[in-house]
Chains A and B, each alone.
Chain A
Amino acid sequence: MTMDLFEVGVMAAKIMMLVLVLLHVAPVMAWVERRGSALMQNRLGPNRVGPLGLLYSLCDAIKFIWKEDKAPGHVEPFYYTIAPLVSIIPAFMTFAAVPFGSSIIVGDHTVVFQIANLDVGLLYVLSIASLGVYGIIMCGWSSNNKYALLGSLRSSSQMISYELSLGLSLIGAIMVFSSVKLGDIAAAQGQTLLSLGPLNIPKWGIFIQPVGFIIFITAIFAETNRLPFDLPEGESEIVAGYHLEYGSLKFALLMMAEYVNMFVGAAMITTIYFGGWQFLPGMGRLSVMLGSAFSLDGMAREWLRVLLEISSFGLKVGFFMWFFVWVRWTLPRFRYDQLMDLGWRVMLPLSLANIFVTGFLIYLGVI
């Protein structure tokens, strides 16, 4: 495959844009989490630095940079140093296969708003996302601290238990869309499932795989170590879990990996169950309205469509990011035996049953 200058430029621009977005996830989410939790608890939250307290994240970053980057004497220096990198690199890599818009024809080139439409898309995301646990295990092991080790052990066992139901819940979606290419999955959800008079119900994953969606989102919560499944960091039991011995920028990297993982999780939920870049209800009418209001011609209309698609994807992902925060400040932490009980005795049989029911419905020709 040869690439000309135009394609290389487009690719570089896409990568640059996504990396910038992913780098800003952590500071923005830190703000959302602080202010959101405060409002839910009838407080105001930090609101002094900058408008609405938005610059606290910047202060955090400055603080993290200027803190002494000190490693305690009892750690395994090599693994201790590379562990944050090992956890953040897979988090960034996964986003390469997520489509955040459809395509546009510029001249004689088709620009696809996805970095790589891999043939193994979904499997690539799953496999790279599983690599993230190595970083956590390395953190816990190299810290030479029993609490950190306990945290990383919990994390790894939790990931193994929930990755099963995560993968199995996706099999239902793969069966329905007959593809593991994320671009195809997102594109397939543009069809209409049901037409009820003026109301069109699109063929989004949530409407054809509701049980799969519930299993998937629960498993994502466990995979990203968010409450109610944040046992790896259970501060009341094991101090701070796997990042106990970390400070300064290394700690910031670990936090960032956590938030980027959340972002990837939200993007996966959006792509598979909420139509990816497909328009939100009302956006189709909005694009027609804007098109006629500014009397746009063919090419400008296409760009407007792409812009609306990207913003639709962004809104959906933003909602799920908010959902992570919302659930975090609503539900208490699970006990460890409850977590394992839910994973193995509820989620696993349920996801298997979901596959059988989906297969049966496909056999009957319902979906």
Chain B
Amino acid sequence: MLVKAKLGFFQRFYLIEIVTGLYITMKNMLFGKTVTIQYPEERRNYSERFRGVHYIKATNGVENCTACMLCPTVCPAECIHIEAGERPDKEKYPIKFEIDVLRCCFCGMCEEACPKDAIKLSTIYEMSQMQREVYEKDFLLDQRGSK
């Protein structure tokens, strides 16, 4: 149904409204503050809690992970694949730690579930790749961010 809006006396002329509109656009053009972030030179400041590329935290060059399998259990996207192994100085450690990042939804549940503070999500958000990537253990052991 067509509902006709009641217009005021000056609004009915329409020309005055057009001039008002033109004034507003010109005001924005001349005095408006541009909100564009010029990406490679300028970057948006994200919060410290931003969930970006994963990494496994290491202390003295040894990964904190004990392959307890809590993160693959809690992962809703089922993108973490761990194969556990044993080592003389440490009871259990991951032989393989892979994250299929295409499936990851960056919910951060793995980070919350981890009892050893091992798997972390950094603040890095530039993750474009030339091929479909599965993050291997070597890649994940790279300490990014400082969380």
Contact = CB atoms under 8 A, between A and B. Distances in A.
Contacts of A327: 18, 22
B34 A330 contact: no
Interface in A327-354: 327, 329-331
Contact of B33 (A40, A42, A329): A42
Interface size range on B against A: 10 to 19
A43 B29 contact: no
Contact of B34 (A44, A329, A331): A44
Interface string A98-139: 000000000000000000000000000000000000000000
B21 A330 contact: yes
Contacts of A214: 15
Interface string A220-245: 00000000000000000000000000
B36 interface: yes
A329 B32 contact: no
B38 interface: yes
B70 interface: no
A31 B130 CA distance: 33
Interface in A270-325: none
Contacts of A331: 18, 21
B15 A39 contact: no
A251 interface: no
Question: A41, A214, A327, A330: which has the most chain B beta carbons within 10 Å?
Answer: A330
Contacts of A44: 34, 36, 38
Contacts of B15: 214
B25 interface: yes
B62 interface: no
Given A326-B22, A327-B22, A40 B38 contact: no
A36 interface: yes
B77 interface: no
A294 B138 CA distance: 76
Interface string A28-42: 000000001001111
B34 A42 contact: yes
Given A214-B15, A331-B18, A40 B34 contact: no
B53 to A, nearest CB: 27
B28 interface: yes
Contacts of A43: 34-36
A155 B38 CA distance: 40
Contacts of A41: 28
Given A214-B15, A331-B18, A36 B29 contact: yes
B102 interface: no
B68 to A, nearest CB: 49
Interface in B19-41: 21-22, 24-26, 28-29, 32-36, 38
A42 B25 contact: no
A327 B25 CA distance: 9
Question: A40, A43, A44, A327: which has the most chain B beta carbons within 10 Å?
Answer: A40
Given A42-B32, A330-B21, 10 more contacts: A40-B29, A41-B28, A43-B34, A44-B34, A214-B15, A326-B22, A327-B22, A329-B25, A330-B22, A331-B18
8 contacts: A41-B28, A42-B34, A43-B36, A44-B36, A327-B18, A330-B18, A330-B22, A331-B18
